Structure 1
Amino acid sequence: MKNVLICASMLGSMLTFAQEKDSIKSNDIDEVVVTGYINKDSESANKMPLKDIENPQVYNTVNKNVIKEQVATSFNDALKNITGISRLWESTGRGNDGGEYYTMRGFSLQANLVNGMPAFNNGTVDPAGIETIEAIKGPSGTLYGGSVISYGGLLNVITKKPYNYFGGEVGYVLGGYGLNRITADVNSPIGKNLYARVNASYQKQNSFQDAGFYESIYVAPSIKYVASDRLTFYVNTEIKKSDAANAPMTFLSRYSPLSFNSIDLFEQNYKKSYTSNDLTIKNSTFNIQAQANYKISENWTSQTIVSRGNTKTDGYNQYLWDSANGNEFTRFISKLGGETNTTGIQENIVGNFNIGKVKNKFLFGLDFFQRQFILGGTGWGSFGTVSLVNQTDTKAGELNQGAVDNALLSTQNPIGSMETKIYSAYISDVVYILPNLSAMLSARVDHFTGNPTAYAVEKSKATTTFSPKLGLVYQPIQDKLSIFANYMNGFQNVEPVQNTDANGGKYFAYFDPEHANQWEVGTKASLVKDKLSITASYYNIKVKDKVMPDPSNALNSIQGGQVESKGFEVSVVGSPITGLNIIAGFSHNDSDVTAGDPTYIGYRPEEAGPKNIFNFWANYKVQEGALKNVGVGFGANSASELYTLNRAGIGTFALPSYTVFNAALSYNEDKYSLILKLDNIANKQYFTGWSTVSPQRLRTLSLSLNYKF
């Protein structure tokens, strides 16, 4: 009888635990639903609940499952799974825009959004707190404004949130170049209807070059409080501190004819860093978001979000500047300081209503954004030269803080602050004309005051900008196949420029916002019982009103430049058979300057990146037999040549095309997993850049150990 009671008690506990898990699925409707590699029906792309197949916009996602299976220890590693994206610059750590730069659909961008709100980072994003990365394609100014988007799209990081039962995972990654990474994810109820989750990591790794390292600590506590069946609160916090010795970026000359005609010299110096581990830069990031989700009625909900952010920079930044003699580069160095503070307030009202028998999904939003730049640090000073031919550095023995500080004593950098304020309102309505035919109509009004960038020497004129968006979706096979088209608008405010009049007097020229307009057509398919998703589209983006040099006076700037970027993309993600996960994509982009500065007309912009980008990863886990739970993964990343410098009178310098292969071997049980990952199997030397030449990481072997509880 005693055994029966024990069994009954255990069964009751198991049923309660299962009910709690089921309640998560029903109560946490605001969270992303993840199945394998597929994210079901993300709301972020249009700030309302839309199935992917009925969404007239393209977005790609990378979730925590992909990150874990690939042993991705950096944000850049995770982004290699997104169709058509490539890194241009590593993180410099400098103030205000020191984060990594990427290119997508022909335009540069940074990761400046967390949970749909602005969140700036002068270093890198740590993968430990990531639930999903969303790459939302095209100029999305209508719903996100002009301060955080690129004309090619935006990157939005969805963070891990608390759930309703105790659980967690700890992990350790040991790898090449001294990699040590420890992660922890702990979730627990802490009171009635109150739940907490903490994600944390510590990482240290050396460079593949002769000097350089990266060390960071990251903690992300979050809280969920269910006040009632209608009202739920979330508080999400991220704190990160990092210390790094970065190799100086190597810039080709932008102002004189190229003196390099091949990549050979750079390949010969591939492992040369031209820095020391004493010249470090520290970055700290703090972000906090408080969110209240309220169910107004059966058909209407309110979402209120308040966010604050702070980033700080303190340390040495350096770059090598081409001396235009086919050999030497001059080192410029500065000890940087400064910080960026941001405030965001957003209110979204989302609901359903009918006009007659016509169903509507409606969004109304209000948005306030404030950003303050605080400048500091020294000025820039020259500090020796580097010879690629002789592989020498004239200051090799003086790359230490004392010598550099002494050299910078005479430099000056003005200390001050700049501020941006943006007030916005937006609406979006999805009209279901027929059960399988819908139209989206969206618009934004955006009022801007202040300085568009940290480097603007004068405030811009106050501007009010209108941004529309239209979309159409037809589903020949309901919930399985759709054909879509969209028209989207993006905009960016432009900083004033100091010009010279005919008498030699100085004055500030003020400009209207730049505008980008995209039209796109494509198709989406959900196959194999919704286990495989395929998206294919063709897009055309035209940017107008770009600021350019005045043809009649090279010292002045005028408005009127134009860029056209067009191309097609194909993305595949899912689990077509049990045990097999696939994520793959191919993109082709043609981008040209079509009007404006004669130096650039007819040339591919240097921010456009490679024309062709391919990504593939497949992982198969054996389901039965002697090798049950053994997994094998294989993938590749490939890019065509990249014109890192490309303009008339200067010339074109192409970074070679490359293909990098990666593989993994794993063993997975319910509670633990072991993954052995080999990146860059062939030890391929390859480069990226944006008027720069940056060697990328060589072959790296990593072992990941994970335990769930």
Structure 2
Amino acid sequence: MNKHLIPLFVLAIFTNYLFAQNTKITGTITDNENTPMIGVNVLLNNTSKGTITDDSGNFVLSNIENGNYTLTISYVGFKTKELQVNVDNEDVNLSTITLYEGNELLDEVVLDVNRKNKFSRKETAYVSKMPLRNIDNSQVYNTITNQLLISQSVNTFEDALKNAAGITKLWSSTGRSGDGAGYYSSRGFAVQPQLVNGVAGITNGFINPSNVERVEVIKGPSGTLFGSSVTSYGGLINIVTKKPYNSTGGEITASGGSYDFTKFNADVNVSPSDKFSFRFNAGFQQEHSYQDAGLKKSVFVAPSVSYKVNNDVTLNFSYEASDNEQTNETFLFLNRYGPLAFNSIEELGYNTDLSFTSNDVTIENITQNYRGEIAWKISDQWSSQTLISGGLAKSLGYYTYLWNGADYSDPNAPVGTENFALYAQDTNSRTKTLNLQQNFNGIFKIGNIQNKLLVGVDYLDYNIIDNSSNWGYLHTIDITGDRIYGEPEINEANLSAALSGLGFLNSDIKQNIFGAYISDVIDILPSVSVMASVRYDRFDYQGDRNTDTDNGTEYTESTFSPKFGIVYQPIEDQLSVFANYQNGFSYVNPEYITDFSTNELILQSYDVEQANQLEFGVKTNLFNNKLESTLSFYNINVDNKYYWGTQTQDLEINSKGIELEINANPISNLNIHSGFSYNDSEITDSPSAPFLEGSRYGESGPEITYNLWADYKFFKNFGAGAGFNGQSKYDTMVGYKSVTGSFYIPAYTIFNASLYYENDTYRVSIKANNITDEIYYSGWSTITPQQRRMLLGTFTYKF
């Protein structure tokens, strides 16, 4: 070769190499409102290249070699998009790429391999009913992610909620109409999971976590955006279900473990075109109790469909039906009207292996929920969301409970001993709901100030029809299970005979609520934003129609609910300081009370209860998203709380505390989720029942709760998880202790651990819950023993 051509040849190769190495792929990601999306994951498949979008929704992938690639773009709450990209010595500009809402990722395990902080996922459109990042939100909420549920092999909704800071169980689901899916304490007040995908969703029994994509626990009074029917003054629980996505795949899961635990679940998604996606999720789960009797069975199906009519309109529909059967968990109701003969578990001497029930006595819950959505892009700045949802929940079978004290038909069984009388009801009730909701979201500027505006209306209709029997008495037993009085055995035949001739409730209660709300997030400066919101609610109650000719009680009330918040970011997108004022409210239904001066029944109506919260704290998203945390202090005051004991509305309650949640990725392959809370709740004034003053409010639960879970992948496919959760002791009789004395639910710490092997095709895991076989309890003027040590094996095939 000519010596003069050699340098030119080398230069050409070197230039071509540099040119190829400097090739970039760029683009801008927006939502269907044409709003730039921040923090969207952009991954170049089968490479180590990946990035997230900046504040303007832009991304850049640099130093891309020539070739054909698949670009995966994903963001929680939006449909994942895959694009084919060819790189041939020139930069590739993909211009604007639009993501559409309505999808939660099924194959998060694969995609999250490229996301460092796997347990952190705080972006959601549900909390504020508009797309808003956690660090920009003045409200506190905890997200229990899909990856956390998988890491912990979660098989009960109760276990899922143990990951939320400050949440503790008071009651398990009883299956009885009105009790819903259990009661939990949050910020000193009882709350139930009654929100599904941002709208009302009901159940009277077991929630199967196999159709749960994530759980959002929204903290504090949240009446302004969500009303009163699905919230409490401590917050609300939103269940986000699995939805269709634009690909074909799925997974099949089989599990087995202690106490005959068996689970099978199939989850399949089909997307024959970019316009249509269909997902079918179904499963079966059963287990027996560690006690001498007890069982749970659950079957569910959950089909869902997404259809993109055109670039502006998308239709989404989901449906879930479940059939659950269970025995009543052991609920030892402590006497509220006389001194207790015991003040602790040790003094009571309860053997937790005893259930005091029979597998012959069960209650069945049949539940259906549906949700239809029309998502319409009106313009580049405005969008519309039209929702219709509804549900039907039935309770059929026997509900029983054990009351501490004498059977009042037996004068020989004295009050105040370790005796428990068993009462029963043949339940036959159903709850129907219909929810209509219309939301408009828009972005506009007034001068240089940007506004994110939400305007919405919703209508919720409840109808509870209860044809259950009146309560009947079966027998009295002592704490060892020996019969003292009444029928010797608890079985279907004896219960049927005990309830025969007692009559039925024949109750029919209707409630409908119309609400209208407006919320505006105003970006005053790049680092400062404020939120102002207000809601109007009109409540109509028609209840207690006990005969064909009785029109029942009618009651109408209305109220306003404001909300304000401010966020300052001294380090933009990494550190925010926030404060909020939030309002919650509750309608107190009228009831008949006795006028002792005339001995006549009069109809007493009540004012709308009001709760007001002041809160401030900090949120972080530091070290390239490796440390996400929220630390807050809250103070909630309720000025006109109704007290059932005196049928008056004069309690004043103060509940304050601190909460901390941390999601961290301190080193490669190590992910940590933890939470801590302290709550100080007190009845500060009670004119009609002064003995309550100074007491902790009855549904407040423990003062201290804590949780931690760590997952470490020590080889490419092998990993381990370990953690604990616990709480301090608390007095379950705080509302009655001036009469009964105290009874303390002991403090506890529960340790759990797992091992797993995982690749793109399957996952195998072994999990041990309650490794030390701790005996522990929950309760709300009750005592319920909790799950003992349990071993669980799970196999998941992914395709």
Q: Could you say which TM-score interval applies, normalised by the shorter chain?
A: over 0.9
Q: Which residue of 1 aligns with 2:656?
A: 566
Counterpart code for 1:341? K
CA-to-partner distance for each residue in 1:455-496, whole Å, 9 max, x for gaps? 9x9635311110000000000000000000000000000011
CA contact (8 A) 2:717 2:757 kept: yes
For 1:40 and 1:655, locate their aligned partners in 2 and report how far apart those are by CA, in whole Å: 34
Q: Which residue of 1 aligns with 2:579?
A: 485
For 2:552 and 2:487, locate their aligned partners in 1 and report how far apart those are by CA, in whole Å: 40
Using the TM superposition, give the Cα deviation of residue 560 of structure 1 relative to its aligned residue in structure 2, in angstroms.
1.9
How many percent identity over aligned positions?
40
Using the TM superposition, give the Cα deviation of residue 261 of structure 1 relative to its aligned residue in structure 2, in angstroms.
2.1
Q: Which residue of 1 aligns with 2:561?
A: 467
Counterpart code for 1:56? S
In the alignment, which of 705, 708, 724 is matched to residue 616 of structure 1? Answer: 708
Q: Which residue of 2 aligns with 1:535?
A: 630
Using the TM superposition, give the Cα deviation of residue 442 of structure 1 relative to its aligned residue in structure 2, in angstroms.
0.2
CA contact (8 A) 2:659 2:675 kept: yes
In the alignment, which of 219, 222, 225 is matched to residue 140 of structure 1? Answer: 222
For 1:411 and 1:296, locate their aligned partners in 2 and report how far apart those are by CA, in whole Å: 59
Using the TM superposition, give the Cα deviation of residue 32 of structure 1 relative to its aligned residue in structure 2, in angstroms.
5.4
Q: Which residue of 2 aligns with 1:154?
A: 236
Q: Secondary structure, in 3 states, of the residue corresponding to 1:298?
A: coil
Q: Within 5 A, what are the aligned runs for 1:88-127?
A: 88-127=170-209
Q: Which residue of 1 aligns with 2:162?
A: 80
Using the TM superposition, give the Cα deviation of residue 265 of structure 1 relative to its aligned residue in structure 2, in angstroms.
5.3
Higher relative contact order (CA 8 A, sep 6+): 1
For 2:385 and 2:72, locate their aligned partners in 1 and report how far apart those are by CA, in whole Å: 29
Counterpart code for 1:339? R
Q: Within 5 A, what are the aligned runs for 1:318-329?
A: 318-323=400-405, 324-329=415-420
CA-to-partner distance for each residue in 1:237-286, whole Å, 9 max, x for gaps? 11100111123411001111222122125554111000000001110110
CA-to-partner distance for each residue in 1:645-670, whole Å, 9 max, x for gaps? 12322211111100010011111111
For 1:360 and 1:104, locate their aligned partners in 2 and report how far apart those are by CA, in whole Å: 32
For 2:362 and 2:158, locate their aligned partners in 1 and report how far apart those are by CA, in whole Å: 21
Q: Residue 429 in 1 paired to residue 520 in 2? A: yes
Q: Which residue of 2 aligns with 1:653?
A: 743
For 2:130 and 2:774, locate their aligned partners in 1 and report how far apart those are by CA, in whole Å: 44
Q: Secondary structure, in 3 states, of the residue corresponding to 1:599?
A: helix
Q: Which residue of 2 aligns with 1:644?
A: 732
Q: Within 5 A, what are the aligned runs for 1:318-467?
A: 318-323=400-405, 324-388=415-479, 397-451=488-542, 459=553, 461-467=555-561
For 1:234 and 1:532, locate their aligned partners in 2 and report how far apart those are by CA, in whole Å: 35
Counterpart code for 1:217? V
Q: Which residue of 1 aligns with 2:758?
A: 668
CA contact (8 A) 1:373 1:454 kept: no
Higher mean C-alpha deviation, range 330-339 or range 256-265: 256-265
Q: Secondary structure, in 3 states, of the residue corresponding to 2:244?
A: coil
CA contact (8 A) 2:453 2:518 kept: yes
Q: Secondary structure, in 3 states, of the residue corresponding to 1:338?
A: strand
Q: Residue 47 in 1 paired to residue 149 in 2? A: no
Q: Secondary structure, in 3 states, of the residue corresponding to 2:782?
A: coil
CA-to-partner distance for each residue in 1:390-436, whole Å, 9 max, x for gaps? 75576685322112111110212221311001111000001111110
CA-to-partner distance for each residue in 1:309-328, whole Å, 9 max, x for gaps? 00001001000001033310
Counterpart code for 2:270? S
Counterpart code for 1:601? E
Distance 1:105 1:423, change over 3 A: same
CA contact (8 A) 2:394 2:429 kept: yes
CA-to-partner distance for each residue in 1:543-565, whole Å, 9 max, x for gaps? 1211237xxxx8x6332211110
**TM (normalized to structure 2)?**
0.83
CA contact (8 A) 1:96 1:454 kept: no
Counterpart code for 2:576? S
CA contact (8 A) 2:330 2:784 kept: no
Q: Residue 27 in 1 paired to residue 99 in 2? A: yes
CA contact (8 A) 1:113 1:119 kept: yes
- Name the Cα RMSD after superposition: 2.2
Distance 1:178 1:397, change over 3 A: farther
Distance 1:250 1:80, change over 3 A: same
CA contact (8 A) 1:247 1:274 kept: no
Using the TM superposition, give the Cα deviation of residue 192 of structure 1 relative to its aligned residue in structure 2, in angstroms.
6.1
Count of residue correspondences: 689
Distance 1:621 1:392, change over 3 A: farther
Counterpart code for 2:227? G
CA-to-partner distance for each residue in 1:659-687, whole Å, 9 max, x for gaps? 01001111111111111100001000001
For 1:315 and 1:575, locate their aligned partners in 2 and report how far apart those are by CA, in whole Å: 48
For 1:447 and 1:208, locate their aligned partners in 2 and report how far apart those are by CA, in whole Å: 48
In the alignment, which of 630, 638, 642 is matched to residue 718 of structure 2? Answer: 630
Q: Which residue of 2 aligns with 1:221?
A: 303
Q: Residue 600 in 1 paired to residue 672 in 2? A: no
CA contact (8 A) 1:398 1:404 kept: no
For 2:761 and 2:545, locate their aligned partners in 1 and report how far apart those are by CA, in whole Å: 48
Counterpart code for 1:615? N
CA contact (8 A) 2:460 2:514 kept: yes
Using the TM superposition, give the Cα deviation of residue 700 of structure 1 relative to its aligned residue in structure 2, in angstroms.
0.2
CA contact (8 A) 2:363 2:399 kept: yes
Gaps of 5+ in 2: 1-45, 47-66, 74-78, 84-96, 113-117, 406-414
For 1:188 and 1:393, locate their aligned partners in 2 and report how far apart those are by CA, in whole Å: 61
Q: Residue 508 in 1 paired to residue 603 in 2? A: yes
Q: Secondary structure, in 3 states, of the residue corresponding to 1:270?
A: coil
For 2:243 and 2:299, locate their aligned partners in 1 and report how far apart those are by CA, in whole Å: 20
CA contact (8 A) 1:452 1:493 kept: no
Counterpart code for 2:285? Q
Higher mean C-alpha deviation, range 23-32 or range 260-269: 23-32
CA contact (8 A) 2:103 2:244 kept: no
CA contact (8 A) 2:206 2:324 kept: no
CA contact (8 A) 1:184 1:201 kept: yes
Gaps of 5+ in 1: 1-9
Using the TM superposition, give the Cα deviation of residue 451 of structure 1 relative to its aligned residue in structure 2, in angstroms.
4.7
Q: Secondary structure, in 3 states, of the residue corresponding to 1:97?
A: coil
CA contact (8 A) 1:248 1:318 kept: no
Distance 1:664 1:214, change over 3 A: same
Distance 1:220 1:409, change over 3 A: same
CA-to-partner distance for each residue in 1:195-222, whole Å, 9 max, x for gaps? 1001111001001110010001011100
Q: Secondary structure, in 3 states, of the residue corresponding to 1:403?
A: helix
Using the TM superposition, give the Cα deviation of residue 37 of structure 1 relative to its aligned residue in structure 2, in angstroms.
1.4
**TM (normalized to structure 1)?**
0.94
Counterpart code for 1:289? R
CA contact (8 A) 1:526 1:533 kept: yes
Distance 1:526 1:659, change over 3 A: same
For 1:640 and 1:570, locate their aligned partners in 2 and report how far apart those are by CA, in whole Å: 16
Q: Secondary structure, in 3 states, of the residue corresponding to 2:81?
A: helix
Distance 1:21 1:42, change over 3 A: closer
Using the TM superposition, give the Cα deviation of residue 358 of structure 1 relative to its aligned residue in structure 2, in angstroms.
0.6
For 2:277 and 2:204, locate their aligned partners in 1 and report how far apart those are by CA, in whole Å: 31
Counterpart code for 2:287? Q
For 1:18 and 1:82, locate their aligned partners in 2 and report how far apart those are by CA, in whole Å: 31
